[in-house]
Structure 1
Amino acid sequence: MTELQRNFIERLKLSLPPYQNAAQSIAECLQISPNEAYKKLRNQSSVTLQQLVKLADTFKVPIVYQPEQAPTVTFSYPKISGEKSDIAEYLLDLLNNLKLIHASKEKHLTIVTDDIPLFHLFKYPELAAFKLFFWFESLGNQPQKFNRSYIDDDVLRIAQELNRIYLEIPSTEIWAKDSIHGSLEQIRYAFEAGYIADNSLAEDLVMQLRYCLTDMNMYAMSSKKTIDVAHTFNWYNCDVLGTIAYLTEMNGTMTCFNRFNTFNFLKTEDHDYCKQTKAWMQGLMRKSVSFSGQGEKHRNKYIYQAFQECDALIAEIYKN
């Protein structure tokens, strides 16, 4: 129980906001004295299985247990039915995860992806709304028409807060050579299928993709996402990618998010799994072309080709 307890307590402390006293929170939850709670925090006193379950339920921290020598991994994920009302709940879950990373003293986020990371797209209102429309409507049987007011202002504010916080987290992104292709094809499909009836709206979506790529170029040129030198950014391009994954590193612990069902994610804090994922990502970096800093030649070529694809889609929109 000692290793299980130590692992759980560390993750519990990470899940609490900086202003919340861990010992006091545990004492109130388990109805024990603060002194006893401190002993449990220091692993000087055992946490019973019943207490462990109560803490897990209260603070929404999963109990991760792996039988010795058994190659099993426990994942958690946000349950989404596909209803439009789920959008705010989905984004708030993302926001809570991102705030947890942001609040850590030592932090880094590594992303391996074949699509533009959604945190970048959330800067732009129509593009953010379209991405959420495409993802959530893909779960239903009868997609509705897309318009600029698909998401309300409250949901949009959450999306833009996600963008703001992400820009302040040091990160490394490894993109596939055609990462922009997925978003362009989604816009093309929605337009050709009649879900976007307004040509100017379709054009605005493509133009916002261009603006997003311009942002990426600026981040890569300076190797940071804001004027703060601590908000470092490293951008790579890799011809061959496998799993779409996000790996967070916070104060010596790691969490891995694997994407599934187009946009949802499986989350695990299993140490061996995260360690293996990190080694895989580091291997990809060695095989990749760096777009950051001095990688101007390769970066410019990539951006130019992406802009050509955007322009070609705009021409198709008005041709029809």
Structure 2
Amino acid sequence: MNSDRDIQITFLEWVKSKNPDTRFADELGSLLDISKDSAYRRMRGDTLLTFNEIRKISQHFGASLDTFFNLSKDTVLFQKKMLNVNYGYIDFLKSVLQSVRMIGQKKSYHMTYIAKDIPPFHYFRFPELSRFKSYFWMQTILKEPSLSSKPYDPQVISKEMMEVCSAIWAAYQEVPSLEIWSDETFNITLRQIEYCHDTGVLNHQQFKILVDEIRQLLNILKVEAEEGVKKHPDPSQRILSGKFDLYYNEIEIGDNTVFFSMDDRRMVMKTYNMLNLLSTTDPVFCENIERYIKTILQKSIPISSSSEKERIKFFNAMHAKVDEFERRAG
């Protein structure tokens, strides 16, 4: 790979390989505002890319030149999804839905979720938990002005948001996944509900409804863990369900980490500031996370399938936690 032409051909092939689901020539032409023929000329190396074109390609496709030339083994390129004025909660929900659906388009796919908080997919099959978690995130993270200093009102969560939440659950239900929980995983949502109840944001009836759905969630998770597949709360809904494995880790989990294997590709997502996302397909980083997951699994207790004793202990402890939480709240 000595000439500029050879480097360019290899670079564009590398970018294309990282984006196999795109019609690369069409997208390249649209990005650079050139014809499809001109795009092919660049892919063949007949026309050399300008510095500005290389910049556009690198930014648009998330293709780090450092990674391509192996200039720095200590640098990892992440793509960010950051909630702000121009990227609101509904945009976040739609991006999650798009990501889960993208995974499901692969021939072979699997998700591993190391959960500091209950994975949001689980909330999205219960209407009141969906509304409350959406409300809480919008009020506390986005600082939505319309929700400031006002009691909780489920009606502020739009029909569109609820439809996207429901669609996320439906897409996630088909994805084979493994989740690793700790004692803290369940506590975060309980503390959020408690805080809103203690400060008068939630009235007592709303509090009771949410606690009831928390119990329903525990009950359905126990059945999912026992049968090894995901379930819809309504038994009449015969939906294709993905495999489900649940593990319990006694050591507190530091953050939410999601690992995807998709055919021969790997991707890692990490959350920060609760909802903001960082994602990367960097091979070395993904391999490191894959090893980390194997290490955690070796120190975790399987709750699923044949592990009846551990499963009963785990869910009895979770129910006792909810009972104590409800008693303390009065």
Give the shorter-chain TM-score range. Answer: 0.7 to 0.9
Residue 222 of structure 1 corresponds to 227
The count of residues paired between Structure 1 and Structure 2 equals 307
Unpaired runs of 5+ in structure 1? none
| Distance (whole Å) between structure 2 residues aligned to residue 266 and residue 184 of structure 1 | 26
Deviation of residue 39 (structure 1)? 9.0
| Distance (whole Å) between structure 2 residues aligned to residue 189 and residue 266 of structure 1 | 28
- CA-to-aligned-CA distance 1:166-221 (integer Å, 9 cap, x gap): 1101111111133111111110011001111x211111111111111222112211
What one-letter code is carried by the residue in structure 2 that aligns with 1:74? L
What one-letter code is carried by the residue in structure 2 that aligns with 1:116? I
| Distance (whole Å) between structure 2 residues aligned to residue 38 and residue 316 of structure 1 | 70
Deviation of residue 272 (structure 1)? 0.8
| Distance (whole Å) between structure 1 residues aligned to residue 257 and residue 41 of structure 2 | 36
SS of aligned partner of 1:306:
helix
Deviation of residue 65 (structure 1)? 3.4
| Distance (whole Å) between structure 2 residues aligned to residue 47 and residue 63 of structure 1 | 18
> Rg: which structure is higher?
2
Moved more, 130-139 or 291-300: 130-139
| Distance (whole Å) between structure 1 residues aligned to residue 160 and residue 123 of structure 2 | 17
| Distance (whole Å) between structure 2 residues aligned to residue 110 and residue 222 of structure 1 | 18
Residue 206 of structure 1 corresponds to 211
Deviation of residue 256 (structure 1)? 0.9
Matched, 1:80 2:83: yes
Question: Mapping of 1:183-194 within 5 angstroms?
Answer: 183-194=189-200
Matched, 1:270 2:282: yes
Residue 180 of structure 1 corresponds to 186
| Distance (whole Å) between structure 1 residues aligned to residue 245 and residue 57 of structure 2 | 38
Residue 293 of structure 1 corresponds to 305
| Distance (whole Å) between structure 2 residues aligned to residue 38 and residue 235 of structure 1 | 51
Question: 1:295 and 1:200, CA in 2 relative to 1: closer, same or farther beyond 3 A?
Answer: same
Residue 239 of structure 1 corresponds to 250
Residue 119 of structure 1 corresponds to 121
Question: 1:64 and 1:217, CA in 2 relative to 1: closer, same or farther beyond 3 A?
Answer: farther
TM-score by length of 2: 0.83
Deviation of residue 162 (structure 1)? 0.5
| Distance (whole Å) between structure 2 residues aligned to residue 260 and residue 193 of structure 1 | 26
| Distance (whole Å) between structure 2 residues aligned to residue 103 and residue 170 of structure 1 | 13
Deviation of residue 95 (structure 1)? 1.2
What one-letter code is carried by the residue in structure 2 that aligns with 1:64? S
| Distance (whole Å) between structure 2 residues aligned to residue 125 and residue 22 of structure 1 | 40
What one-letter code is carried by the residue in structure 1 that aligns with 2:120? L
Question: 1:132 and 1:228, CA in 2 relative to 1: closer, same or farther beyond 3 A?
Answer: closer
Residue 272 of structure 2 corresponds to 260
What one-letter code is carried by the residue in structure 1 that aligns with 2:249? C
Deviation of residue 37 (structure 1)? 3.8
Deviation of residue 115 (structure 1)? 1.4
Question: 1:46 and 1:147, CA in 2 relative to 1: closer, same or farther beyond 3 A?
Answer: farther
Matched, 1:135 2:142: no
Question: 1:157 and 1:56, CA in 2 relative to 1: closer, same or farther beyond 3 A?
Answer: farther
| Distance (whole Å) between structure 1 residues aligned to residue 149 and residue 97 of structure 2 | 26
Deviation of residue 53 (structure 1)? 4.5
- CA-to-aligned-CA distance 1:44-73 (integer Å, 9 cap, x gap): 88883544544566xx53223335244011
TM-score by length of 1: 0.85
